């Protein structure tokens, strides 16, 4: 089926769904396949549940005489092509965001700022992959003035695939760091993959890059691209500095050439959020959002996702950052915790997954850094940490630590909990 024909059908529909359990009345169902499911088998149910049409790619699921079934060669490609077609039809200006850490936070902060002035579409939650990006684009409406699209990657070529769907006009790489090394092969692999966003922008007549100029890798990668910079140096378009982080980030910022200094108290935990917040200031300024509204948006923004949460229990204060961990974010979290003003600091760290051949070395580096931090107590969870040279308490997994906590519960401590999601450190929270 021609994309232009399908597009006409899409325009008459009430959005797109790929989940037969969520079928808004009049929507277009697209049957995707996963490791454990075949969406084609759910097309009939989707139509029953309210979808107006169902795009499938296996002829045996067609029902003769029922013209609500639309057959294509490959539903995933159809979804992606439809999204690009729609994006082109509307011509909305799109800002693409990628990077190793801080994409979602940066996207949310930018959205908070830009929505003070514009009708904005932005990625919902963390829907940043080859399915989430097209679904995001298909939510674009003519009234949207700008769109902010998060793009994630775990293998080389992932970002190229996403930029060729979203065709962003502008781009921001939050940072390049060590994550998914298994998939990328090396740190160079990470840089090359994130750089696919810049490669795309280089093909445009008038691209714009929002550049965190404190990062030498990014600065090098962005060479030759028109850019607007942010960072701690006074020569940046937006310069900012940390003024407090105990535990919530406070910072000040200034626009180049202006004397007025803005002070912002955020509800974000972690000094590593400074560049994320400065990115939002930079986009706000670039798109002429009133400075007072920028400050207000950043002051009022309260993170909804379960990352970097502060929780006070009856006995302890917890900083829970147990959703993901890689060497860059682990170091950032520890550095933040180290500089936090609090007594009796305890770090509970879980293994960093997916590091491939670099795993042993990266875990050792974290353990070595812990020596410098001088926390009152360090607890390591998982085989990778256990295998390093260190003198800390270790547990094989979260259940083993829970058993120990049941015997003796810490009290009066400030506790950082950080590890890869797979280590399930979130499960220990109720025992603290
Ligand atoms: P994902 O790959 O899961 O989509 P993400 O890039 O969207 O992650 P966030 O969800 O915004 O990132 O943040 C995840 C964690 O990364 C935070 O809890 C924090 O530990 C760390 N982090 C956030 N911003 C930065 C930063 N600028 N530099 C280093 N680490 C950061
Ligand atoms: Mg994210």
100 is in an annotated binding site: yes
Query: Is the shortest distance between the CB of 80 and ligand 1 below 6 Å?
Result: no
- pLDDT, tens only, 147-202: 999 999 989 999 999 999 999 999 999 999 877 878 888 888 888 999 999 999 99
Query: Is the shortest distance between the CB of 102 and ligand 1 below 6 Å?
Result: yes
CA of 102 to the centre of ligand 1 (A): 3
74 is in an annotated binding site: no
Cβ burial, residue 118 (10 Å; 0-12/13-18/19+): middle
Please list, in sequence order, all residues whose beta carbon lies within 8 angstroms of the beta carbon of residue 217, skipping any fewer than 6 positions away: 176, 191
Query: Is the shortest distance between the CB of 272 and ligand 1 below 6 Å?
Result: yes
DSSP string, 350-398: EPPPS-GGGHHHHHHHHHHHHHHH--SEEEEESHHHHTSS--SEEESSH
Edge-first strand order for the sheet with 309-312 is 309-312, 317-321, 414-418, 345-350, 377-381, 393-395
Distance CA 43, CA 22 (A): 12
Which pLDDT score is estimated for 185? 83
Ligand number with the minimum distance to the CA of 305:
1
Query: Is the shortest distance between the CB of 336 and ligand 1 below 6 Å?
Result: no
Distance CA 423, CA 250 (A): 31
Cβ neighbours, 10 Å, residue 279 = 26
Ligand number with the minimum distance to the CA of 271:
1
194 is in an annotated binding site: no
Give pTM, 2 decimals. Answer: 0.88
Q: Which atom of ligand 1 lies closest to the CA of 177? A: 29
231: pLDDT confidence band, cut at 50, 70 and 90?
Answer: very high
CA distances from 91 to 62, 87, 172 (A): 34, 6, 19
Which pLDDT score is estimated for 306? 58
Q: Where are the beta strands (DSSP E) in 282-340?
A: 309-312, 317-321
CA distances from 61 to 1, 41, 45 (A): 16, 7, 12
Mean pLDDT of 25-47: 96
- pLDDT, tens only, 64-94: 999 999 999 999 999 999 999 999 999 999 9
Which pLDDT score is estimated for 85? 98
3-state secondary structure of 270: coil
- What are 39-48's contacts with CB under 8 Å, separation 24+? 39/75, 40/75, 43/69, 45/20, 46/17, 46/20
Phi, psi of 29 (to 5 degrees): -90, 135
Residue 139 DSSP label: T
105 is in an annotated binding site: yes
CA of 373 to the centre of ligand 1 (A): 21
CA distances from 360 to 189, 239, 405 (A): 19, 37, 27
Query: Is the shortest distance between the CB of 215 and ligand 1 below 6 Å?
Result: no
ipTM over 0.90: yes
305: pLDDT confidence band, cut at 50, 70 and 90?
Answer: low
Tokens of 16: 């797109």
Tokens of 31: 């049957």
Which pLDDT score is estimated for 323? 83
């Amino acid at each position: 089926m021609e994309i232009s024909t399908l597009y006409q059908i899409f325009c008459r529909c009430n959005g797109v769904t790929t989940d037969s359990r969520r079928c808004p009345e009049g929507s277009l169902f697209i049957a995707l396949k996963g490791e454990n499911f075949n969406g084609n088998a759910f097309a009939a149910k989707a139509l029953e549940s309210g979808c107006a049409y169902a795009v499938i790619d296996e002829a045996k699921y067609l029902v003769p005489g029922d013209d609500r079934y639309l057959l294509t060669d490959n539903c995933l490609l159809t979804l992606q092509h439809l999204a690009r077609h729609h994006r082109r039809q509307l011509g909305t200006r799109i800002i693409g965001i990628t990077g190793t850490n801080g994409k979602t936070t940066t996207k949310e902060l930018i959205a908070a700022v830009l929505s003070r002035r514009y009708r904005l579409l932005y990625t919902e939650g963390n829907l940043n992959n080859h399915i989430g990006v097209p679904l995001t684009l298909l939510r674009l409406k003519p009234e949207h003035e700008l769109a902010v699209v998060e793009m994630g990657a775990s293998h080389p070529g992932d970002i190229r695939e996403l930029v060729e769907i979203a065709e962003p006009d502008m781009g921001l790489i939050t940072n390049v760091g060590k994550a998914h090394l298994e998939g990328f092969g090396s740190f160079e692999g990470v840089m090359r993959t994130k750089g696919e966003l810049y490669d795309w922008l280089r093909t445009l007549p008038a691209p714009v890059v929002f550049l965190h100029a404190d990062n030498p890798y990014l600065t090098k990668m962005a060479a030759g691209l028109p850019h607007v910079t942010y960072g701690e140096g006074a020569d940046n378009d937006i310069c900012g500095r940390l003024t407090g982080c105990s535990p919530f980030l406070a910072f000040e910022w200034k626009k180049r050439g202006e004397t007025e200094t803005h002070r912002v108290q955020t509800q974000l935990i972690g000094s590593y959020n400074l560049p994320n917040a400065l990115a939002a200031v930079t986009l706000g300024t670039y798109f002429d959002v009133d400075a007072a509204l920028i400050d207000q948006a950043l002051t009022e923004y309260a993170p909804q996702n379960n990352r970097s949460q502060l929780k006070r229990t009856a006995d302890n204060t917890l900083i829970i950052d147990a959703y993901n961990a890689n060497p860059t974010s682990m170091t950032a979290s520890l550095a933040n915790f180290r500089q936090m003003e609090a007594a009796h600091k305890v770090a509970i760290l879980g293994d960093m997954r997916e590091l491939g051949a670099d795993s042993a070395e990266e875990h050792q580096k974290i353990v070595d850094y812990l020596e410098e931090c001088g926390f009152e107590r360090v607890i390591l969870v998982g085989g990778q940490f256990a295998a390093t040279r260190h003198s800390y308490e270790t547990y094989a997994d979260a259940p083993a630590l829970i058993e120990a906590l049941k015997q003796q519960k810490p009290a009066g401590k400030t506790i950082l909990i950080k590890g890869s999601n797979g280590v399930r450190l979130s499960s220990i929270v109720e025992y603290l």
